[in-house]
Structure 1
Amino acid sequence: MSDGRMIFEREREDLAGIVKLIFARKLTNVAGGNFSFLAEKDNKEYIIMTPTMMSEAYLGDLSASQILVVDMETREVISGVGSLTREINMHQAVYQTNPKIKAVLHAHAPNAMFWATSGLPMPNLTEATQKVGPVPVMKFAPNCSEELAEITSTYIRENDLPVPHMLLLDSHGVLINATGDTGMMAIHKALSILDTVEWNAEIAYKQAIFQALGITDFFHSKGEDIATLDDLKANEAIYNRAKVAAGGD
């Protein structure tokens, strides 16, 4: 502490608030989820991160003091009441793939989890989510494992993914990586993506059902028929490449 204040107090208060909001909106569950963003002090980089058991033990009701400050290089907990989640493997690996990534959000949003467990890429259909681009499913690896960290970071690097982007973790959840002028701005962008893509996940599921029932013939996005169920079964990335959203409301 300095002058009676916690290190990165404002940042930790902000992340604690985001955790509560995500739980209130049912965008993750007691099985897990973990969120982090980067912050700098004295020319050194730190990860501001949720602690282990934030879901199961605390149901997302965290105080700022429970948010951890983690040394980016050594994974040492510099400040915070809780313990470090083993999912630090994935967060650290993702940050090291691209310096533009300043926030990593992993959650168990229910409709997105449907697509993550299907083994199929999520059709990205709504105007608000087009900036995320394709939403592919990663190969399965156990949660918290170094293998999962390697799979996700290698995919980001080898495909030179633009930021922001979203990946589906097979049978596990969603991974959103975002950027911004600061880590705090980036985690708010990731939160926005989590919320809007969760709506898109339900819409994509319902469009698939309409096709299967013969009510429609295509996935439809922004005035265009863009793909079919056969494209989905072939694991093709489904999103409207022709038009870019203007942004904003």
Structure 2
Amino acid sequence: MISAPEGRIIFEHEREDLAKIVKVIMERDDTNIAGGNFSFKVTGDDGKDYIIMTPTMMSQAYLGELSPSQILVVEPHTRKIIAGEGELTREINMHEAVYDANPDIRAVLHSHAKNSMFWATSGLNEPNVTEATQKLGPIETLDFEPNCSEPLAELVASHVAEIGDAALMHMYLLNSHGVLITVGQKDKVMDGLSAIHQALAIVDTTEWNAEIAYKQAIFQKLGLLDGFYSKGDRIGDLEDLMNNRPVYNRGTVAVGD
């Protein structure tokens, strides 16, 4: 049985941090009132893994203002709520499917980020053009499956399993639904709290990338650019975009990125 110091709540620091992340993501327009759902894995003093996760309706019911005690502590697979207020999101199935597909993944962030949603609803892959997002590689839009459905969870899990270690820092676009970010480290070296902070950085920087890629596409139609550019290199064009060929900078990622 996991425990906490007398008078304190279990995983207090981790739950406090996730509550802050919810507020930051709302303030930065990295999601909308429909919210999304964020989770990361922790290991208790009993040696078992648990999922720290936002409750359903975190934006509509709680207006994005959550206390640490409202953040859920969930037992994987049984989906038993060990601690926390509110109900478990139906998209727990997608989070569990991702963690099962690659056990080295320590955080999953699903949001409805405004600019990335443009690319997700178009069905096109998002060109990856900025230096800050280069390490993500290609940003792919998956086929449409209904939100909260088992087919969506299965689709995401199959892609995560297919790309292997690349899933330890990756972002997919869920067609008409939003973004899905997975973060971890080989052999589970990275702790879940660090992983969810990395996921926050990814959703924030990819929002800038999504807008810039859109503007580069417009400039091509206006004849002001002859392709998508990243770090001074031409990395693709509208024809690549229309034919679902990944558009991203394949060069070496700079030290410190």
Question: Which category describes the TM-score, using the shorter chain as reference length?
Answer: over 0.9
* Structure 2 unaligned blocks of 5 or more: none
Tell me which of 39, 57, 77 is aligned to 1:73: 77
Query: How big is the shift at 1:34?
Result: 0.5
Q: Does 2:158 align with 1:154?
A: yes
Partner of 2:203, secondary structure, is helix
Q: Deviations over 1:2-59 (max 9, x none)?
A: 4111110110000000000001111101122100000011110000000000011112
Q: State the distance in 1 between where 2:254 and 2:209 align.
A: 15
Q: Which residue of structure 2 lines up, in the alignment, with residue 191 of structure 1?
A: 200
- The answer on whether the counterparts of 1:130 and 1:245 sit within 8 Å (CA) in structure 2 is no
Tell me which of 231, 235, 239 is aligned to 1:230: 239
Tell me which of 224, 246, 252 is aligned to 1:243: 252
- The one-letter code sitting in structure 1 at the alignment partner of 2:12 is E
Partner of 1:202, secondary structure, is helix
Query: How big is the shift at 1:125?
Result: 0.5
Tell me which of 177, 181, 185 is aligned to 1:176: 181
- The one-letter code sitting in structure 2 at the alignment partner of 1:79 is A
Q: State the distance in 2 between where 1:21 and 1:200 align.
A: 19
- The one-letter code sitting in structure 1 at the alignment partner of 2:33 is V
Stretch deviating more after TM superposition (51-60 or 164-173): 51-60
Partner of 1:190, secondary structure, is helix
Partner of 1:201, secondary structure, is helix
* Paired-residue identity, %: 62
Partner of 1:177, secondary structure, is strand
Tell me which of 46, 54, 62 is aligned to 2:66: 62
- The one-letter code sitting in structure 1 at the alignment partner of 2:26 is F
Query: How big is the shift at 1:243?
Result: 2.5
Q: State the distance in 1 between where 2:255 and 2:243 align.
A: 30
Partner of 1:103, secondary structure, is strand
TM normalised by structure 2 equals: 0.94
Query: How big is the shift at 1:161?
Result: 5.2
Query: How big is the shift at 1:245?
Result: 2.4
Alignment of 1:130-149 (within 5 A): 130-149=134-153
Q: Which residue of structure 2 lines up, in the alignment, with residue 35 of structure 1?
A: 38
Q: Deviations over 1:186-231 (max 9, x none)?
A: 0000000000011000000000000011111010001101101000
Query: How big is the shift at 1:246?
Result: 1.7
Q: Deviations over 1:119-162 (max 9, x none)?
A: 00000000010111111011111111111100100111123351
**Root-mean-square deviation (Å):** 1.0
Q: Does 2:7 align with 1:4?
A: yes
Q: Which residue of structure 1 lines up, in the alignment, with residue 130 of structure 2?
A: 126
- The answer on whether the counterparts of 1:219 and 1:225 sit within 8 Å (CA) in structure 2 is yes
Partner of 1:160, secondary structure, is helix
Q: State the distance in 2 between where 1:210 and 1:161 align.
A: 35
- The one-letter code sitting in structure 1 at the alignment partner of 2:80 is E
Q: Which residue of structure 1 lines up, in the alignment, with residue 101 of structure 2?
A: 97
Q: Which residue of structure 1 lines up, in the alignment, with residue 172 of structure 2?
A: 167
Count of paired positions? 248
Partner of 2:200, secondary structure, is helix
Q: Does 2:222 align with 1:217?
A: no
- The one-letter code sitting in structure 2 at the alignment partner of 1:201 is A
* Structure 1 unaligned blocks of 5 or more: none
